[in-house]
Structure 1
Amino acid sequence: MTGTLAPRVVVVSRRSELDELLVRHGTRAAADHFLRQRGRDLDEVAARHEALEAALTAVDAAVPADWRRGRVDREDLPRFLFGPEDLVVAVGQDGLVANLAKYLDGQPVIGVDPEPGRGLGVLIRFRADSVGAALRAAAAETAAVRRLTMVSARLDDGQELAGLNEVYAGHSGHQSARYRLVAADGRGERQSSSGVLVGTGTGATGWTASIAAERHRGEALPDPEERSLSWFVREAWPSPATGTDLTAGRLQAGERLRLVCESERLVVFADGVESDHLTVTWGQQITIGLADRRLRLVVPG
């Protein structure tokens, strides 16, 4: 890594379920009572909290003493400024890496699984005890890196939102969204639906995969590094004024899907984080396609 400053390692995590329960209920006894009413046990929640804390401690110990350090909670990501030479370590589940991706611009990300074997581990590829070697390799620019495709939605007023898994455009109250859809080949159709989903190859293991399976679509969804997107219209409603012919397709490099809002208000959000959204009003246009940036995910080499 070039530059005169020592590398800065920024550790990203989110509050554990135990932390959130204590914020809501005040004491462990009250949290335990709340969980028992729902057939759950505080011991399980506490064990997961301890696993996360142990992983964070191990990551902190793995950072060389003369390197700079930073720490940020997932909720504070919109207000955190990443530097161009930061090394980012995400300690948590796959979704944490997806939430993080849109705030980065080329910084390498090392995903650490605090509970190996519990989740899919698609994006969190390291155990806490192997972070030291991964950090040194990333700093030396010798680490194995996958450049994961991202998707971008842009409004005609210049606002933009990027996602690692997918972007969704629809009604904020999950009512019918009305818009005019224009496909990459220029074909257009007025639609009323539950929204439009545009996903990457990384997202092809999640939401877009479930939609494709429901429709028994045989074609392969894109790979995570492939410069291609898949899109689906959810529950398009046929009527004299709205059609259902254009409900799925692919977007290649340079191609865009356009939506012209014909509802009072639509929202666009990425990777399931509805609280961080763009608002679209009547007549505004949304353009969705491949993002210029990619996520640089460090993987075991």
Structure 2
Amino acid sequence: MSEPYQYRFILVVRKTRLQELIERFNTWPQARFYLEHNQVDAQDYLDEHDLYQRRIQEAERTLKALGRFQRLERGLLPNYQFSPADIVITIGQDGLVANTLKYLDGQPVIAINPDPGRWDGKLLPFEIGELKGVVTRTLAGRSACKTITFAEAKTNDGQRLLAVNDLFVGPKSHTSARYLLAWNGSQETQSSSGIIISTGFGSTGWFQSILAGALGVAGGEHHPLQGGFAWHECRLQFTVREPFPSRTTGTSLVFGAITPEMPLQLESQMPENGVIFSDGIESDYLTFNSGTVATISLAASQGQLIV
């Protein structure tokens, strides 16, 4: 990676809370009135927005001086055509990193924490002052990189969805999901509030809340997967939420590992409102209604996060 101009730097940004409020209320004065009427400090929104814009400007100046540059808003990610030679830089919270990785095919991602005083940034190893140095090291092939295993859902009608953190399979609303689950040579008809399939990258998130709830109900204190598992592991972990035992539905296949040799298969028994979505983005989903069979497995593509 010694010739910078053969590469393109893609800076992925997101809207601030202030920008989202202006979209909702049309103007900042109206949004400010709404906040202050509800005893919320509007100045905090302004401070966050102003600092974020400064960080974006700093990143733009740095990247434009190093090579070809493109700025991309998060909402455009699903339709953007990335090049194999792109180097992607995100400025935002942890969620922006996950959202971005899902649409890449092995391009390296450099994650910048725009406001360390506000965000812990478990997935944001760098601050804006380190950007030039880490880009230079990446171009020279001297940056350390962590590989991230993705989950993939494929259906018998040709739908496909990747997940960086987790997949949810279940009902669109707060009702029961009904499906036939097949895994590790066994199958079972189940009724539950849905299934979570976690990657190693997402195993310290939603997956941990499920484990904590199960331990609390069972009166336990420890589980081998407390703290999650490695990002690069060739495995996923599925958990059935609130399985209901009855004459026709079982609860014996509610927790297990998905490996290349043991995918998970789910056949919907829901006439309507069945969905599969990933990484908490409910608006981008696959339909999972009667007649749909979904296979959950490890994706062929992987993410690359510079650390």
TM range (shorter): over 0.9
- Residue 181 of structure 1 aligns to a residue in which SS? strand
Identify if the C-alpha distance between structure 1 residues 3 and 54 changes in structure 2 by more than 3 Å, giving closer, same or farther: closer
Match of 1:127 in 2: 127
- Residue 96 of structure 2 aligns to a residue in which SS? helix
- TM-score of the aligned structures, taking structure 2 as reference length: 0.93
**Matched residues in 2 for 1:155 and 1:2: separation?**
42
Contact in 1 for aligned 2:14/2:74 (Cα 8 Å)? yes
Identify if the C-alpha distance between structure 1 residues 151 and 223 changes in structure 2 by more than 3 Å, giving closer, same or farther: same
Match of 2:224 in 1: 219
Alpha-carbon distance, 1:109 to partner: 0.3
The reply on whether 1:278 has 2:277 as its aligned counterpart is no
Amino acid at match of 1:274: E
Give the number of aligned pairs.
298
Match of 2:261 in 1: 254
Match of 1:205 in 2: 204
Match of 1:236 in 2: 243
147-156 or 211-220: which moved more? 211-220
Structure 1 unaligned blocks of 5 or more: none
Moved over 4 A (4+): 2-5
**Matched residues in 1 for 2:2 and 2:298: separation?**
29
Match of 2:270 in 1: 263
Match of 1:176 in 2: 176
Provide Cα deviations, 1:151-193, integer angstroms capped at 9, x if missing partner: 111111232111111011111123111100011x111110111
The reply on whether 1:50 has 2:50 as its aligned counterpart is yes
Contact in 2 for aligned 1:222/1:230 (Cα 8 Å)? no
Identity %: 37
Contact in 1 for aligned 2:235/2:257 (Cα 8 Å)? yes
Match of 1:92 in 2: 92
- TM-score of the aligned structures, taking structure 1 as reference length: 0.94
- Residue 49 of structure 1 aligns to a residue in which SS? helix
Amino acid at match of 1:282: S
Contact in 1 for aligned 2:101/2:164 (Cα 8 Å)? yes
Structure 2 unaligned blocks of 5 or more: 216-221
**Matched residues in 1 for 2:166 and 2:206: separation?**
8
- Residue 135 of structure 1 aligns to a residue in which SS? helix
Match of 2:187 in 1: 188
Provide Cα deviations, 1:227-252, integer angstroms capped at 9, x if missing partner: 22111001111121111111111122
RMSD of the TM alignment (CA)? 1.6
Alpha-carbon distance, 1:65 to partner: 2.5
